[in-house]
Structure 1
Amino acid sequence: MKRNVLIAGAAAVVVLAASYVGGAWFAGAAAETTLQKQHEWLTGLPYFIVKNRQYERGWFSSTEKTTLKVNPELYRFALEKEGEPLPEFEVTYTQHITHGPLPLLSHFNLHPYKAVVTTDFEFAPATKKLLDKFFGDKTPISIENRIGFDDDGVIKVKVPGFDYEEAISGVKAKWLGLDTTVDYGGDFNRVKIDLNAPGLSGEAKGKGTFDFKNLQVTLDHTRGKTGLMVGQTLAHFDSLDVNLQEGTPLKLRLENAGYTGKLVENGEFIDGTAEFKLAKLVLDGKPYGPAELQASARHLHGPTLAKLGDAFTALQKKPIKRDQFADQLSKLAHDEGMPLLEHDPQLAIDKLEVKLPDGDIHFNGSVGLKGFQRGDIDKPVELVKKLNAKADFKVPRKVVETVIAWQATRMFGGPDSGISQADLDYLAGQFVEGQINRLAEQKLIRVEGDMLAATADLSKGAFTLNGVNVPMPWAASSPAAAEPAK
C-alpha cells in the first residue's frame, strides 16, 4: 500500500511537472503572439521608427531586443539647420519574458499569467552619463507588464525620485518620482491609465525658482463602433509657482488647475466636451480667478474622424519637408475631411468666466454648419449663408481701459519719449475715452455701467451686431439690396 502511494505521488508529480513544462511552452508561444500585437501597436504610432527587433523564444523564458528611433519629422522643424545633419535620437530596450502559467512563482505569487515582462533600457553613453548625475545607482525607469491568458494586461511604470544639486552653479532640482499604471485590453481596444507625479522643484541661483506639485492624470477609453477611442480624461495639479529674477522679474502662481475631457458616440457621430478650471492665479501679487472654460464639439462624423486620424499618422511618418507637409495636410483635409462639414457640425465655447479684481469676464459663442454641400467650399457666399454663429461677451470697462492705455502709452513713446508719466497717463486716458465713445457711437459695443458688452449673430447670411443689421459686402453690391429709386 505504501509503495502504491509513493508510486501514485511520484506519478502525480511527474504529471504536474510535465503539465507545467508543457504549459510554459504553450504560454511562451502565445506570449510571443501577444507581444507581436503590442509591437505592431507601438510601431503604428507616429512617434517611433523601428530600426531593429530580435525575439528569441526559450522554453520557460524569452528575450526581445528592440531599437527605436524617434521619428525625426516630429522635431525637424525645431532642430534642423542648413548644411548640418539632423540629429537622431534612439533607445534600445530588452524585454525579459517569463512564461506562465505561474511566472511569479519565484516571488511566492501564485497568480496565473500568460507571461510577465520586465524591460531594461540601454542608453547612449552621453545620455547615461546625464541620467547618472541625477539618479546615481538607481534605475532611471522600470517597466513591468503582466499579461493575462485573455491577453488583457497591466503595465506598471516607475521613475524614482532624485535630489540634485550643483554646488558651483547653484542649480538645484528635486523630483519626487512618477508612478503610472496602464490597464489594457488585448487588442488595445480598452485602455485605462492612472498617472501620479507628486512634484518637481528647482532653483537656479540668482535666476529664479519653480515648484510644481501633485500632477494626477486618469484616462478611461474604449474603442467605439466608429473606430475611435471614446471615454473620459481627467488631469489636475495642485499648484505651480514660478519666480523669475533675471531680466524682467515675474512671480506667477497657479492653484488647483484641472481638465476634464469626454468623448461619446451617438450612432455614427462623436460628441466631445472639454472643461478647464483654475481656482486661482496670482501674478506679481495680484489675485485673479477662479476661471472656467467649457467647450464642446458636437455631431462630428466618426468614420471621417477615424479615417483622418489614420491618414494623419501615416503622413507624420513620411520624410517630407515642412512646406510639403503643410501642403499634403491641406490636401488631406480637402480630399477626406468634407464629410465632417456635410454632417452639420457644431463647435462652441459654452462658457468662459474669469474673475478679475475689477470685475468678471463673461463670454460664450458657437459656430455651426447646416446643409453644407461639397461644392460650397468654392462658393464663399453660399458657405456663409449656411453658417450659424453667435457670440456674447461682457468685460469690465476698467480692464479694457487698462489694456488700451498700455497700448496708447507705447504708441506715445513710453518712458523713453521724454514726456512725463503724468502727461503720458493723461494722453492715454484721453485716447481710451475717445476710443470707447467712438465704438459705442458706432454700436460696436454697448456700455452697461461699469461693463462693456457686445452680442453678434450670423444666420442665413444675415449679420447683426448689438441688434443692428450689418450689411454683408456682397449684399451691398447686389441689385436686390439697392434702395428703390425716388
Structure 2
Amino acid sequence: MKRFIALFVVLGAALLAAPGIVGFQVETYYQGLMQQFAKGGAELVSQDYQRAWFGAESRTDFLVRIPSGADRSKMETLQFSLVSHITHGPLTTDGLRLADIRSDIRVDGESLLPADYQAVIRTLIGIDGQGSTRIDLPAGVIPASGERPAIRFDGMDGDIRFDAAFEQVDARFALPALRLSQGDAQLLEIEGMQLNSHSSKDVSGLTLGGGRFAIGRIGMWDQASGTRIEARQLGVEAESTVKGELVSATVHYQLDRLEVDGGVYGPAEVRLGLGNLPPEALLRIQQSVEEINAQQLPDEQKGMALLSVLMGNAPALLKGDPLVTIDKLSIQTPDGLVAGKLSLQSVGLEWKEIGNAPAVLGKLVADASLQMPKRLFTLLLRQKVEADLLRQFEQRRLLNPDAKLPSAAELAELATVLTEQQLNQLLGQEILVEQGDTIATRATLADGLLSVNGKTIPLPPMPQ
C-alpha cells in the first residue's frame, strides 16, 4: 500500500512540476514562431514574455510599413500587437499537448475585433513539437466609421499546420464573401475566396512548394469615375520542384470572364515556366529576399535591392542553362483571340560574356509565336507611338523652352499617320503577317541567326 501511495505522490509531483519544465521549452518555441511570423514581411519591434508555472502571457509588437503616395515613394506605418495567453502542457483542455495558445490581434492597444465577437485564433503544439493554428472568424458586420467603409463578411476559417522546425508548412483559408460599402454605394465585393498552399525545406534549406489561390467573383466600383470592373473565376496555381539536381517552377493563371464598363474579356489562360535553376543560387537569393523583406524598404529601394541580389547571383544561375517559357498565352478579347508561346534558353553562356552581344546571341535559343486581332495590335502600336512622340516633344522643350508643344488633336493626328506607316513597314518586311483580321508572327533564334516567319533576318552589327 505504501508503494502505491509513494507512486501516486511521485506522479502527482511530476504532473505539478511538468508545466514549469515545459514552460521553458514553450517560450523558446513561441519566440521561434514569432520569428517565422516576422519573415512574412512584418518587423518585430518588441516582445514581452511573462512566464509563470502553469502558463504565460506574451505581447509581441510588429510594425508594417505600407507604400503610399502616387509614386509609392512615401511610407506609412501600422503597428499592431499579437497578445497571447499560453497554457503549458502536458495536460491541456485539448488533451496531451506541449501548449495551448489563444491569441488576439490589437491595434493601438485595442482589440482589432469587437469584444463580443466570437473570433478564434488558437495554436495547439503537440508533444512532438508539431503544431497547428486555427483561425475561425464568424460572419459579422462592422459599421462605417469616418473614412472607413462598412464591412460585411460571411465569416472566414482556415488553419496552418507546421512541423517542429517550421520546415514544412501547410495552409488553408476560405472566405465565402466580403463586401465593402459607403452608404448605399457598393465599393467592393469578393465571393468564394480560397487559398491552399504547401511548402517544405530540402536538405540545403531551400524552401519549395506551391499552392492555389482562387476567387469565384470580384466586383469593384469607382464612384468618382463610374468605372465598374467585375471578374469571375480567377485562379493562380504555382509549384516548384527539384528535377535531378536543378529546380523548376510553373505558374498558371486563369480567368473565366472580365467585364470592364460593358467590354467583356475572357476566358484567359497563361502558363509560365522556369527551369534549370541551381538550388544553391536560389537558396542565397531566398535568404537575401527574407532580409530585404524584414527591412520593409520603399518600393524603389526594394526593387534596387532585389536587382542587386539577382545580379550578384547571375553567374551561378547561368551555369544551369536557365530556361524561361510561356507554355500558353490565350486571351479572348472583344476584337478576337490573342494567343502565343515563348521558349528562351541560354546554353553555355557565362556571365563574363554578357557584355559581348554576338557571344550572347550565339548562346541563346528562342522560339516565339504571337497572334492577335489587327485592330487591337494597331491600337497598342498607336498608344506606343503617341507616348514616344510626347516624350520627344517634352525633351525638345527642355532643350529649348520656347519650343511649342503640339495640341492634343495635332499629336493624335501625327500618331495616326506614323502608326499606319510603321504597320505597313512591318507588313512589307514580312515581320508581321496579315491573316484576315489577325496579325501573326513566328520567330526563332539559334546559332546567332534570327528567323522571322521563315525568313532569315540579318542582325545589326554590334560592338564586341
Give TM-score, length-normalised by structure 2: 0.83
Residues 243, 119 of structure 1: CA spacing in aligned structure 2 closer, same or farther, 3 A cutoff?
Answer: closer
Q: How much has 1:244 moved relative to structure 2?
A: 3.3
| C-alpha contact 1:236 1:258 (8 A) present in aligned 2 | yes
Query: Cα 1:452–1:54, aligned 2, differ >3 Å: closer, same or farther?
Result: same
Q: How does 1:116-265 map to 2 (within 5 A)?
A: 116-124=100-108, 128=110, 131=112, 135-139=113-117, 142-166=120-144, 172-205=150-183, 209-247=187-225, 249-265=226-242
Structure-2 change in CA distance of 1:304 and 1:409 (3 Å): closer
Instruction: Verify: 1:99 aligned to 2:94, yes or no.
Output: no
Q: In structure 2, what residue type is equivalent to 1:90?
A: Q
Match of 2:48 in 1: 54
Q: What's the counterpart of residue 398 of structure 2?
A: none
- Structure 1: distance between partners of 2:421 and 2:26: 75
Q: Is contact 2:72-2:298 (8 Å) kept?
A: no
Q: Which residue of 2 aligns with 1:27?
A: 22
More strand by share: 2
Which of 421, 438, 441 is the matching residue for 2:425?
Answer: 438
Greater RCO (Cα-Cα under 8 Å, separation 6 or more): 2
CA distance in 2, matches of 1:218, 1:318: 27
Kindly state the Cα deviation for residue 456 of structure 1 after the two structures are TM-superposed.
1.4
Q: Distance in 2 between matches of 1:122 and 1:170?
A: 18
Verify the 8 A CA contact 1:220 1:232 in the aligned structure 2: yes
User: Paired residue for 1:454?
Assistant: 441
Shift, 1:330, TM fit: 4.2
Is residue 2:343 matched to residue 1:366? Answer: yes
User: How far apart, in 2, do the equivalents of 1:353 and 1:221 lie?
Assistant: 29
SS at match of 1:378: coil
> Quick one: which of 295, 314, 329 aligns to 2:272?
295
Any residues of structure 2 matched to 1:275-294 within 5 Å, and which? 275-294=252-271
**Contact 2:87/2:100 (<8 A) preserved:** yes
Q: Distance in 1 between matches of 2:386 and 2:23?
A: 74
Shift of 1:225: 3.1
Amino acid at match of 1:290: P
Deviation per residue, 1:91-116 (Å, 9 max, x gap):
23332221112211xxxx4x311111
Contact preservation (8 Å) 2:339, 2:372: yes
Partner of 1:382 in structure 2? 359
TM-superposed CA distance for 1:368, in Å, is 1.3
Q: How far did 1:165 drift?
A: 4.2
Question: What is the SS of the residue equivalent to 2:461?
Answer: helix
Q: Give runs of aligned pairs for residues 397-412 of structure 1, distance below 5 A.
A: 397-401=374-378
In 1, distance between residues paired with 2:297 and 2:146? 44
The share of aligned pairs that are identical, in percent, is 22
Following the alignment from structure 1 to structure 2, what is the Cα–Cα distance between the partners of residues 417 and 69? Answer: 50
For 2:448, the aligned partner's letter is G
Contact 2:217 2:233 in 1 (8 A): yes
- Give the partner amino acid of 1:399: L
Residues 319 and 156 (structure 1), Cα distance of their counterparts in 2 relative to 1, 3 Å cut: closer
Q: Which has the larger radius of gyration?
A: 1
Q: Which stretch shows the higher mean deviation, 52-61 or 174-183? A: 52-61
Q: Distance between the aligned counterparts of 1:449 and 1:269, measured in 2?
A: 44
The runs of 5 or more residues in structure 2 that have no matched partner are 390-406
Question: For structure 1, which runs of at least 5 residues remain unmatched after alignment?
Answer: 419-423, 479-486
> Alignment length, in residue pairs?
447
Identify which of 285, 303, 306 aligns with 2:283: 306
- Quote how far apart the aligned CAs of 1:238 are: 0.6
Specify the SS of the correspondent of 2:164.
coil
RMSD: 3.8
Instruction: Report SS of the residue matched to 2:445.
Output: strand
Given the two structures, how large is their TM-score scaled by the length of structure 1? 0.80
C-alpha distance 177-471 of structure 1, shift in aligned 2 (>3 A): same
